[in-house]
Amino acid sequence: MNLQKLLSYTRRAVDDYHMIDPGDRIAVGISGGKDSLALLYALHGLKRFYPNSFSIEAITVSVFKEMNLDPVKRLCAEMDVPYTVVDTEIGDIVFRERKEENPCSLCAKMRKGAFNEKAKALSCNKVAYAHHKDDIVETMLMSLIYEGRFHSFSPYTYLDRMDLTVIRPLLYVPEADIVGFKNKYDLPVCKNPCPADGHTRREYVKELLRRITSENPGAKERMFTAVVNGHIKGWPERAF
C-alpha cells in the first residue's frame, strides 16, 4: 500500500463518521508499532489538504524502560510533529509488583489513563487510536466468545469524564495493507519488549480469524460489514 491509498482510506473514515472538526488538536497515540506509525503518516498527510484545519501531537506512554524510541523521535522531527514521551512505571506495576495473570486489561487501562492526561495537558480535544479494520472484527469475535454479546469499539467515542473524543481514522484499513505500507516506507518500528506479547486472547482470536478466512474466503469482509451495519449501541450513523 502506498501513501495515497492510506490517505484515501483515512479520509473516507474521517468523512463517513465526521471525526475531525476545524481547529481540532489531536493527540496521536504512538506505541512504536506499525499501526500507530501508519496512523501518524495518515494524519500528517491528511493535515496538508483536509478542508477542516487541525493540528497533531504525537504521544508515547512508555511502559518499559528498555524500549528504544529514538527512531520514532527522529521520524517526528522529520515530520515537524511535536513528540512527547510519558515515562511510567506501568510495566513494573503490572508484571513485577502485581504479577497479573491476565495483564493486558490493567496495562491498557493504565496506558489510556496516562495518555489521556497528557493529551489534556497539551490542550488536545481529541485522541486518535490506531485500531484498523482487522481490529474491529477481532474485537467483535472476542466479545462474542468471551462476553456473549455482539459488540466492537466505535469509530469515535466521547469520554465525558475527560472531555476528550476518541477517533479511529484507520477504521477501513486492512492489517495486510499496513504491513505492506510498513515495508514500502521502512517504518521505524520499535520492538515490543512486553512479556505477554504473542500470548494474549487477541492473538488467539487473530489466529482463529485467519483459519476462518482461509476456509471461507470473504468471511472477514462480511463480518466487518455486519459490524458497521449492526446498529451496535454507541456506534454513530455514517454521514452518507
Question: Residue 20's domain is classified under what CATH number?
Answer: 3.40.50.620
Would 237 be classed as within a structural domain? no
Do residues 205 and 212 touch, judged by C-beta distance below 8 A? no
pLDDT of residue 237: 82
pTM: 0.90
Q: What is the pLDDT of residues 75-99, one digit of tens each?
A: 999 999 999 998 776 666 666 655 5
Mean pLDDT of 197-220: 88
Would 236 be classed as within a structural domain? no
CA distance linking residue 97 with residue 134, whole number of Å: 33
Res 193 pLDDT > 80: no
Would 80 be classed as within a structural domain? yes
Q: What is the pLDDT of residues 98-148, one digit of tens each?
A: 555 566 677 777 788 889 999 999 999 999 999 999 999 999 999 999 999
Q: How confident is the model at residue 236 (pLDDT cuts 50, 70, 90)?
A: confident
Distances (CA, A) of 157 to 100, 173, 195, 197, 198: 28, 19, 30, 27, 28
pLDDT of residue 163: 92
Would 129 be classed as within a structural domain? yes
Would 185 be classed as within a structural domain? yes
Strands 83-87 and 126-128, bridge-based pairing:
unpaired
Do residues 16 and 239 touch, judged by C-beta distance below 8 A? yes
Domain count, the chain: 1
Task: Look up the domain containing 184 and give its range.
Answer: 3-228
Mean pLDDT of 53-66: 87
- The residue that leads in pLDDT, 26 or 236, is 26
Do residues 90 and 112 touch, judged by C-beta distance below 8 A? no
Would 200 be classed as within a structural domain? yes
CA 7 to chain centre: 16
Q: How confident is the model at residue 198 (pLDDT cuts 50, 70, 90)?
A: low
Would 235 be classed as within a structural domain? no
